[in-house]
Structure 1
Amino acid sequence: MATDFVAVGGGGAKRRRVDARAAKGEEAAALPAIRISALPDELRQRILAHLPLKEAIRTGALALGWRDLWKSRWIHCSSVEIHLRSRDDVRRELGALPRPRRRLDRFSLIVDICKLSSSELRCFLDYAAECRVEVLHVETRKSSVAENLNFHLPLSSPFLASLSLRRINVAKMYYKGAQPFHALEVIRLHFVSITATAFMKMMALCPNLRALDLRGCDCGLTGCSITWSKLSFLPTNVRSVTVAECDGTASLEWAYLPKLHSFLYRGSFLDAPFSLPGDATLANLYICLGNSISECYGIMRFNRALPDDLSGLTVLTICSNALPAASPFPDDGVIPQLPKLSNLYSLRELQLLMLDMLAANLADIYVFLKTCRCANLERLFVHLPKSESYDPMEATLDEVGEEPTEVALDNLKIVKVMNFNWRHIEVQLVSFLLRKATSLHKLLLVSPNVSPLNAAGVQEADLLLLKEALDNGKIMLSESDDAATQPYHSEVFIEV
């Protein structure tokens, strides 16, 4: 125990000082500790009422009694949801907004009617801003409504953390006098018409943006396709970008995004390509292309669009149209160059979205697994096309070629195959995985046919291998999806 050393004429004074401090320590130890969790719920709710929503939710980690306390941090409802179906609803809902204004977690406005004016929309948005709303959602259900309404950023909303707009016009967004939204971390724009100028201004007002989700966006009122090269002006804190079925080019090539770790893309790469910063260090990547890049030009273009180093990638979802990108290509016309997908040393989870499953597709899978050297892969998800979604006529086994011997899947523990229909190409894939994955714990087959009823053309050795795995419990059959085993990118095809 630390003591104060005081020299006042002898050792007695020093001893008395030490004894006094020891006595005080014993007295303090005898008093019961006052813990914050022992406070009445009413007082703890008052504490939470002064915290932003995100911080209030995090208090659930303090103790069991705090876990769901944030949901009742206000006596009154902390969420307002309005659905306008007629002109009468507009006046009634504006008049029924709670007064006096109180702080809101979430404000949602859904518009069905065609005659809502931009000034009336502004009244709802101003109310939400004055309530210091944290989650704001505005949606129209009809295209005719979206054409007549202009979304305006609230002039001041210091707690706004998430903004979601769906089917609304932002092309003529009014933002003069708007203050930076320092708390805004998530922006979702779905089927939104927005000009490049408005988009750049929105990004400039959100310096701490972490996630940007763009789906089905264009600049409809200007009559031209927006060029998403303005994504180069994204705030430097952005960690996740989603671009799905948007017009124009999703170019982040010249953006400075040191924290970018997630990129999700769905679209026609040849018509609306993407490009990522060469120095990006992605942790997860999702690629679903609307067309094949099997030609050399498409493969080279796709390869240039990827970051230079993918060795830190841990989760990858890729569709069959993009699998040819794993093939070496002649970059200078003579010497084959290894693709950027060849250095996936850190990959732990792979999801294959098979838009077709013929012999050529199985050959692409073989080349991909051989080239990418996924030695540390632990989880593999394969989504086969549904039987009615592709040509059931199958090619011969000879077109696949020999199985690659260099594939190392020694760490693969879980495999899940969706829409398995016992076609010989599918059986050949599963038997290949059984042979290569020496540490496999379980292989889940989600199939409408729980028994191999349609095994025509399957080689006897492959069929025997599957039956043996069924008998010893390594293969598990199910007619429905197992919710307990889901991929990291659980939204298989990004909804647009």
Structure 2
Amino acid sequence: MAINSGGGGSGGSKRQKVDGLDDQCEAEGSDAIPLDRISALPDELRLRVLTHLPLKDAIRTGALARGWRDLWRGRWAHRASLEVHLRSRDDLRRELDALAREPQPRRRLDRFSLNVGISTLKASEFRRFLDYAAECGVEDLHVETTRKSLVAGELNFHLPLLSLALACLSLCHISVSSMFHKGARSFHALEVIRLESVSFRPKAFKKMMALCPNLLTLDLRSCRCNGYGWEFDRLPPNLRSLAIAGCERITSLDFVRVPSLRSFHYEGRFSNLPLSIPRDATLSDLYIQLFDSEPMKEWNMDNLRKSLPKDLSSLNVLTICYKALMGASVLSADGASAQLPNFNLHSLKELHLLMFEMKAVNLSNLYLFLKIFQCPNLERLFVQLPAYRCKPMEGCIDQVLEEPPEDGLNNLVMVKVMNFNWIPTEVQLVSFLLRKASSLQKLLIVSRNVTPVDLPGAPEADLSLLKEALVNGKIMLTTSDNAATQPYHEAFIES
């Protein structure tokens, strides 16, 4: 639907004069400014306009003018969002009776959320809720079971039973059926799928992807594939964001048919490499966390290199774990770092280091990474240190064999160090950042111990620098993690 915005929004001195719905303009000099006639309509009529738009488009109208902001929230006279919590059979009977009493045609719903906390829900009862959501033309659907026993197959989710207006689907702790329904129609409006602890058979996953040709975001967390394993060779062609975290039995991660990919998030094992991201993809953000207990070998890092696009020069955000950093020291031997042309991080603005070990070798690998993959435009640095459950052992920095980089952090303005424990390697890292980040404006340290600790293994010069920065306010030390300064990527912490 075309909306006439008036054509005069760029002139600060130009004003619009609304006087009913007449075809009139207010002239200033030689300019004539047509009225935004649709914004002049009463709220009741504008809300009626919004009822004919999909939810996402109704929300976007807030950018038209101040009068449109949040107007979409009132586009239905009734509640546009419904949450159902089933904690007992009484809850179930009450909710089903309430749905049955609603007259036809059903009301329109933007969002429907079903939270199942009982183990006695029958498949026929579950289907009644899904049928209701479809009859209401729901656009955002969330289904979650709170008891893991339900994952074993007692309840099956059937995608073809849902509203064709569905734009966002979120499932948690449930099984997805094979969905081989004759005449199943594609969900052209479905753009976002988020699945957590969902079990599939390979054919069911492939069928779901085939029914969602316009999918833009796919997020898989701790999902299980019951059968031969996952197959990712038939993903929707316009997919822009893909997250795979803790999914077992992955046999192939071949994304060569999705060159539109811009965001990739992977948490898994070395054994599943290479990932085969399209070599011509232009990633803007990347998250790599590897869980194998074995040390990073040269072939592992080489597989990681082959998994990534040939050009990372457009990367703005990178989250990488300490195990992947180990590969930098392996590949740097005998000039092998020259084999990494795709690790061009010159556009990187934010770097998040998942340092779940902070021994001397880990600090060496961190220094080496910053030397090899220079980030001259880096502005924000987050360092996630290990969360010790007891008093950490005293460390020694004599085994830090790599010298800190001399430059490359001139544009760094904000640093946040989480789980700081005052061990020597951590103290040296913070003192290095204080010395080398010439534009640093804020250094936040989150620590259970807000009192500086004198450790035998830490150089006095490093400790003195930290204490001085605390006194003059260069370092902000706190026991709580401020939600206002969070990294772009939410880190998955191993339990």
1:176 & 1:138 partners in 2: Cα distance? Answer: 24
Alpha-carbon separation, structure 2, partners of 1:232 and 1:407: 42
SS of aligned partner of 1:121: helix
1:293 positional shift: 4.5
Amino acid at match of 1:39: L
Match of 1:369 in 2: 370
Q: Shift in Å at residue 141 of structure 1?
A: 2.0
- Match of residue 5 from structure 2: none
Q: 1:379 to 1:363 in 2, by over 3 A?
A: same
CA deviation after TM superposition for structure 1 residue 494, in Å: 6.7
Which whole-Å deviations, capped at 9, do the CAs of 1:435-487 have from their partners, x for residues lacking one? 22122122111222223134432212212322333343322222222232221
Return the letter of the residue paired with 1:209: L
Q: Is the 8 A contact 1:155 1:177 kept in 2?
A: no
CA deviations on 1:21-49 (whole Å, 9 max, x unpaired) are xxxxx994479957433433222221111
Question: Residue in 2 aligned with 1:409?
Answer: 409
2:378 and 2:393 map into 1 onto residues whose CA distance is 32
> Which residue pairs with 2:134 in the alignment?
129
Q: Which protein is richer in helix relative to its size?
A: 1
Give the C-alpha shift of residue 171 in structure 1: 4.0
For structure 1, which segment, 81-90 or 436-445, has the greater mean C-alpha deviation from structure 2 after superposition?
A: 81-90
Query: Structure 2: which amino acid aligns with 1:67?
Result: R
Q: Equivalent residue of 1:167, what SS?
A: strand
CA–CA distance in structure 2, aligned partners of residues 407 and 288 of structure 1 = 27
In the aligned structure 2, how far is the partner of 1:369 from the partner of 1:444? 20
Note the residue ranges of structure 2 that are not aligned, 5 or more in a row: 1-21, 28-33
Give the TM-score normalised by the residue count of structure 1.
Answer: 0.86
Higher mean Cα deviation, 377-386 or 403-412?
Answer: 403-412
Equivalent of residue 320 in structure 1, options 301, 319, 322:
322
> Does the CA-based 8 Å contact 1:253-1:278 persist in structure 2?
no
Q: CA deviation at 1:159?
A: 1.3
Measured after TM superposition, the shift of residue 165 of structure 1 is 1.3
CA distance in 1, matches of 2:185, 2:481: 47
Bigger CA drift: 401-410 or 126-135?
401-410
CA contact under 8 A between 2:280 and 2:310: conserved in structure 1? Answer: yes
Give the CA deviation at 1:365.
Answer: 0.5
- CA-atom RMSD, angstroms? 2.7
Task: State how 1:268-417 maps to structure 2 within 5 Å.
Answer: 268-270=269-271, 274-291=275-292, 292-327=294-329, 329=331, 337-339=338-340, 342-388=343-389, 392-417=392-417
Partner of 1:197: 203
| Alpha-carbon distance between aligned partners in 1 of 2:160 and 2:494, rounded to the nearest angstrom | 28
- Structure 1 residues 122-161: aligned runs within 5 Å: 122-146=127-151, 147-155=153-161, 157-161=163-167
User: What's the offset of the Cα at 1:79?
Assistant: 1.5
Q: 1:250 to 1:159 in 2, by over 3 A?
A: farther
Shift of 1:402: 4.3
Whole-angstrom CA distance in 1 between matches of 2:427 and 2:342 = 26
2:181 matched to 1:175? yes
* One-letter amino acid of the structure 2 residue matched with residue 215 of structure 1: R
Distance 1:482 1:115 in 2: 42
Q: CA deviation at 1:231?
A: 1.5
Deviation at 1:340, TM superposition (A): 5.6
Tell me the residue number matched to 1:435: 435
Shift of 1:122: 2.0
Correspondence for 1:112 among 107, 114, 117: 117
| 1:139 aligned partner, one-letter code | E
Report the count of equivalent residues. Answer: 463
Question: Residue type matched to 1:360 in 2?
Answer: V
Q: Please tell me whether Structure 1 or Structure 2 has the larger radius of gyration of its CA atoms.
A: 1
Q: Contact between 1:268 and 1:290, CA under 8 Å: does it hold in 2? A: yes
Which residue of structure 1 lines up, in the alignment, with residue 47 of structure 2? 45
How big is each residue's C-alpha offset from its partner over 1:295-329, in whole Å with a ceiling of 9 and x where there is no partner?
A: 22322222222222212111001111211132353
SS at match of 2:200: coil
Name the CA shift for 1:442/1:254 in 2 (closer, same or farther; >3 Å).
closer
Secondary structure in 1 matching 2:421:
coil
Q: Quote the Cα distance in structure 2 between the aligned partners of 1:494 and 1:405.
A: 28
Counterpart contact for 2:396–2:458, Cα < 8 Å: no
Matching residue's letter, 1:486: Q
1:395 shift after superposition: 4.1
Note if contact 2:264-2:285 (Cα within 8 Å) is conserved in structure 1. Answer: yes
Query: TM-score with structure 2 length normalisation?
Result: 0.86
Q: Which amino acid aligns with 2:128?
A: C
